[in-house]
Structures are given as structure tokens and as C-alpha cells.
Structure 1
Amino acid sequence: MLDPTPIMQLTTAYWNAMTFLTANRIGVFEALAKTPMSVSEAADALNTHPRPTRLLLNSCVALGLLEESEGVYTNSALASVFLVPGSPAFMGNAVRYSDDLYATWGKLEQALRENRPPLAQETYLGDDPAKTRHFVYGMHNRALGIGNALVNLVDLSGRKQLLDIGGGPGTYSALFVRRYPELRAKVLDLPHVVELADEIIGSLGAKDRVSTLAGDYHTTKFPTGNDVVLISGVLHRESEKGCRELIGRAKDTLEPGGLLILSDVFTDHGGTGPLFATLFGLNMMLTAPEGGVHADTDVAAWMAEAGFTHIETLPFPSPMPHRVVTGMVG
């Protein structure tokens, strides 16, 4: 007889997510980083009522986010490292961006029937300052881990000029120039995004070698004379046609021997796995007009058709779900 447990787990999976997202949003982990607290003390610090606060804190204990001893609650090691502001591995802004998307996921059926995202991307790319900050800093939190892996996957020795198309917070460019002292980078993204990118690049000590260019990568003319072009976390916003156009335009900016780096969440051939990549495609469908996910084999084929050579596909270290596809001009 088949075990229905996987079905039952799916029916309540959002309970875990909303417990975690709410705890992060109201400041549970930040408060407990200052001092261990009882239920009443936590309720006072969080401006909540004691009875529901106990239920929330106990659920966070069960989720492995908090620990409890004799009625006193503290952060778990996991929460202390990743959920407390000021920690080098802080992911709270990325969590806040997921929190902002929670209601949007409730409109999945609407998106399927209307073939348009229920959340206008302008909301988190400039129109709503708070959501834009959550998005850009959330991408920065994620990009720190991804970028530190990426700089070890591709070799930019001897290269001088990198163009970071749709570079968001500029984190990747900052990490690359820190790794390669002779390299300079330019980050192209929307005006409200690069305003925040300038803050982040400065905080990483890379402002002297990473500049920003406000524009829309769909229409803004790309600077030429590059020996590296990076397009990371962009293709999942574009259709096949849009991806092919970006690959072609990137090629036109590269000097002979130039390198194109395409980094993203890609599926296997056929698009039915891995699970995270397939669900990520739905997330992008909900938040961008052409949002989805592509197979790395398709992306490599598009690069070959555009004239790139020495095409290589590499996975990021586990558990990161990303992959990188690279190719050279000439």
C-alpha cells in the first residue's frame, strides 16, 4: 500500500514557511541575539501577546531555529549564523524578499489562467522602495555565497574589463575585482537598483574599480571593449528569444578571445528536474512577464549558434542549485 505521507507533508508545507517568515519579519532572531528571553520578555520585545508568542517560539524550536531550556529561548546555531543582522553570512534580507512573494504564490492559479505575473516586476525594481531594497539586498545576501563559488569556477587571470549585465547589487563584480587586482568592472542595471548597488559595492571596498551604469539591459547600448561579460541571474527573466538576443549583444561587446559567463539556475535537459529549478521557474513566472527557467543544454546550444567556442558547463558546489555556462569569442 502506498504511503500518503508525502501528500500530507505537501498540504501543510506552507505552515513551516509562514512560521519562519513571520519570525524573521517581526525580529525574533535579532531580539534573541541580544539576550536569551522568556516568553513574556520576548513578547515585550516584539510587541506581541504572550500566548501566541509561546506558540510561535515553540514552533521555531521544532523547526530547529531556536532552542529552549527551562522556559528561556535562544537562537540555534543555524539562526545565529544566517538570521542575525551583522553576521557575515546574514540571509535575512533574502528571507524578506521571499516573504514579500508569499501572497504572490497564492495567485498561482490566476497566473496560469491569465498568462501574466500577478506581481508587477516594477514593484520590486523601483516603484516600491521597501520591496526594492528587500530585493536588491536579498540578492546581495545570496550573491555573496554564489559569487564566492563563481570566482573559483572561472579563471579571469589576465583579463582587464568586465561588463556585468543586469548585475543587480554588483556583488559578483566586487568579488571578481577583489580576486583579480588588474580587473575593472561596470555594472549595468535599472536606476533604482544601481543606487543600492553603489552602497553595496562601497561596503565591499570595491568602489575604486567597480562602476555602475543606470539603464535597461533590453534597450541600453552596452559598453564595448570588454574581455569578459557576465550575465548572472538574468536569463530566468527572459524568453528563449530574449536570451538569444542578450547572448548576441554580449558577443558584440567582446574583444577577440573574450569570455562570456552565463550563471543561473538551469534545469536538466527536458526541464523536469532538479526540483528546485522547476519550482524556481514557477517563481519567475509569477514575478516577471517572460519569467521561467531554461535548460543548460539549450543555453549552450544558443551560445554555439551565436558563434562562441570552447563552451563549457559546470555545476556549482552542492547544495547551491546554480550552474555556469561559459564560451569564448574566436
Structure 2
Amino acid sequence: MESIRTAEEISTIAFGFMASKALFSALHVGVFDALAKGPMGVDALAKATGIQKRRLTTLLTALVASGLVEKDGSSYSNAPGAQDYLVQDAKAYFGDYLRYQIDRQMFPMMTELVPVLEKGEAAEAPDYEAWMADPNEARLFSESQHSGSLGPGAVLAKMVELEGAKSLLDVGGGTGAFAIMFAKRYPGLATWVLDFANVCEVGKTFVEKAGMSDRVGFIPGNAIESEFPPGQDAILMSYLLGGVPADTIPGLVDKAYASLKPGGMLIVHDFMVEDDRSGPPLAALWALQHMVYTPEGMSLTAGGVRQQILKSGFEEPRIEVLIAGMTKVLIAKKPAA
């Protein structure tokens, strides 16, 4: 990233939350879904969304200025990216993830960042375990997270070679999105998800809808405190290490090593910044928001995770990019003998 030099560039960062709210609000009131049918004037769009015309015009102006909506004369239409990712019927839709988890949970939590930085604890935001102990919060977080994880799960399942493997343990695997995609790709693979009890209950509904109840099971527990079932062919830790206290990471990797069969595979997927901590921006910002409910956490680097993997006894890991500018994957095997 180039260094900031102008007041306008600073303002772009400072006012960025306003663009976020414009995006989230458009999702909530159905702007992108309405425009998916084709260009519309503001009168027709007001009727379709139920939003008063003057207020809708102000929102549309912000959406056009942000590049989410295009304007041609008096007609509005979705920008290509909005059409592909923000329309509910789109194959790659992840709007529910944005409007529920990011807008209604993550966005308010970021107001706690200064207390966390100054005191190491949030004034009001709970830690992750307490947060997920609330059934309503666990359901909202888990349902929105699920829709955002299916795509990366499918990509990761293609990236990892598990032919012949019989078991995979997904530690902190939430609603089982990644486990479902692995089970779909490898018919002989039985997968298990270890996560908090309320999260597991939500996950069971998604697994049932996917027709995978005989292939994806759940183990209620705490990744840090619970024992991992032994004899695993593979263990997946996706979005786990970046969301736990940094001093618990060695123990988690050690437990994975002990739980795996000789020749078994550890897969670590998470938001990771570059080893020199120069970026990328999205990975760095995700780590910052994680700190609100995990004050003792720290942004991950592939180099740091690699060192811990080697220290725990694994062979040299393969490092890959999964989501460009955001997440990386480390794949390592336990020695065969």
C-alpha cells in the first residue's frame, strides 16, 4: 500500500463506515434484488422496496458514488459485482453474511476497540465463548457465517488431496460449511465438527438440508479445552487460530499432532498478513476486529504459523493463498513413522 498523503485520502478511510452502512442498508431493504430484474427508475424502485422516494434517492446516490449501482439517465441498475454477489438468487451470493454478521454483530462491536487497546478488555462486548453461549447470537452469527464459508470451503477441498482418507476433524468448524464441502468432494470421508454447543445445533440444520447427516457429525465442546478424538486422517482449523489467544496456539497445534495418524494431514486456513506485517489491508483489518472479542489474540503470519507447525513435529508445510488479499492455507503432514 502507498502511504497516505492527502486529507482526502484520510477522509476516505474515516468515512468508510458510511459506505459500509449504505451497502448493508441496501441489502436489508432489497435494492439489489429489485434491480436484478433490470434497470429501474426511482419511482418503480421505491414501489418495489417500500422506501419513500426522497430517502431512496439519497441512498441510491451514495450507492452510485460507491460503485455498487450504475445510473444511466433516470434509470438505475446493479453494478456487475453487485449483480454477481449481492443478489439473493446469484450463485456466489454472500449478502446475508454481510447484512447479518458484519452489519448487526461485527460493526457494533468495533466501538469497543479503544477499551480493548487501552485495558485489554471490552466494556460491553463479550468474549467469543460467552457470545456464542447466547442462542440467538450464536444462530445469527452461525447462519450468516455459513453462507460466506461454502465458497471458500469448496475451493479448499479442491486444494487438498484427501483421496483414501477416512476421517476429518474440523476444529472450530462452526455450522459445518467446510466439512460439507469436503464430504461432497470425497465420498469415503467422514467428517466431524467440534464447536460450541449452540453453534452445533444450528449446524445440524444446515447439514440436514445438505443431505449430509450421515457424513457430517458434531462434537459440542471448546477447541482449547476439549480433547480431540484420536486416529484422525486429517484435521482442519479454519478461522480458528486467528480468533483465539495467541498463547493457546501451540497447544492447539500440539493436540492436532497427537490426534492425527502417522502420515495424517493438518490444514490451517485463516486471515494472515505478510511476514513483514505490511498488509494486505483486508487481512490486517480482520485481525483488528478479531481483537475486540479476543484481546489476547494477534494477527497471524504464514511464517509464524509455519514455525509453530514445524515445532510441533510436522513436516515442512505447503503455503497457498485461498482468498486473495485475505486468507492463506498451510498444509502439513505428520511424519509417517
State TM-score, norm by structure 2: 0.88
Structure 1 residues 98-107 or 297-306, which shifts more? 98-107
Of 198, 209, 229, which aligns to 1:192?
A: 198
Deviations 1:128-152 (A, max 9, x none): 51x4333213322222221222123
* Aligned-partner Cα distance in 2 for 1:205–1:81: 26
* Aligned-partner Cα distance in 2 for 1:113–1:212: 38
Of 14, 23, 35, which aligns to 2:17?
A: 14
1:61 and 2:64 aligned: yes
Of 159, 172, 181, which aligns to 2:178?
A: 172
Of 104, 109, 128, which aligns to 1:104?
A: 109
1:245 and 2:251 aligned: yes
Deviations 1:57-96 (A, max 9, x none): 2221232322344534343332222112232211112102
Deviations 1:209-231 (A, max 9, x none): 11112222222222122110111
CA contact (8 A) 1:93 1:135 kept: no
CA contact (8 A) 2:207 2:216 kept: yes
CA contact (8 A) 2:246 2:298 kept: no
Displacement after TM superposition at 1:44 (Å): 4.3
Displacement after TM superposition at 1:30 (Å): 3.0
SS in 2 for 1:249: helix
Aligned to 1:288: 294
CA contact (8 A) 1:124 1:135 kept: no
Paired residues, number: 327
State TM-score, norm by structure 1: 0.90
Of 8, 17, 23, which aligns to 1:5?
A: 8
Displacement after TM superposition at 1:183 (Å): 1.0
Of 115, 119, 133, which aligns to 1:114?
A: 119
Give percent identity, aligned residues only. 30
Gaps of 5+ in 1: none
Q: Aligned runs of 1:82-231 on 2, under 5 Å?
A: 82-96=85-99, 97-100=101-104, 101-117=106-122, 118-120=124-126, 121-122=128-129, 124-127=131-134, 129=136, 131-231=137-237
CA contact (8 A) 2:321 2:327 kept: yes
CA contact (8 A) 2:282 2:325 kept: no
CA contact (8 A) 1:146 1:320 kept: no
Deviations 1:297-316 (A, max 9, x none): 11111111111123222222
* Aligned-partner Cα distance in 2 for 1:274–1:105: 20
Aligned to 2:242: 236
Displacement after TM superposition at 1:205 (Å): 3.2
The one-letter code of the counterpart of 2:143 is: Y
Displacement after TM superposition at 1:7 (Å): 1.9
SS in 2 for 1:265: strand
Displacement after TM superposition at 1:161 (Å): 0.5
CA contact (8 A) 1:311 1:325 kept: yes
CA contact (8 A) 2:233 2:260 kept: yes
Displacement after TM superposition at 1:99 (Å): 0.5
CA contact (8 A) 2:139 2:198 kept: no
SS in 2 for 1:125: helix
Deviations 1:198-250 (A, max 9, x none): 22223333222111122222222221221101111000112332111111111
The one-letter code of the counterpart of 1:17 is: S
The one-letter code of the counterpart of 2:70 is: E
* Aligned-partner Cα distance in 1 for 2:259–2:202: 26
Aligned to 2:54: 51
CA contact (8 A) 2:246 2:297 kept: no
* Aligned-partner Cα distance in 1 for 2:166–2:333: 15
Structure 1 residues 132-141 or 34-43, which shifts more? 34-43
Q: Aligned runs of 1:257-268 on 2, under 5 Å?
A: 257-268=263-274
The one-letter code of the counterpart of 1:213 is: I
SS in 1 for 2:76: strand
Gaps of 5+ in 2: none
The one-letter code of the counterpart of 1:106 is: T
The structure-2 alpha-carbon separation of the partners of 1:79 and 1:126, relative to structure 1 and needing over 3 Å to count, comes to farther
CA contact (8 A) 1:271 1:294 kept: no
**Pairwise CA RMSD:** 2.3
Aligned to 1:269: 275
Displacement after TM superposition at 1:285 (Å): 0.5
SS in 2 for 1:206: coil
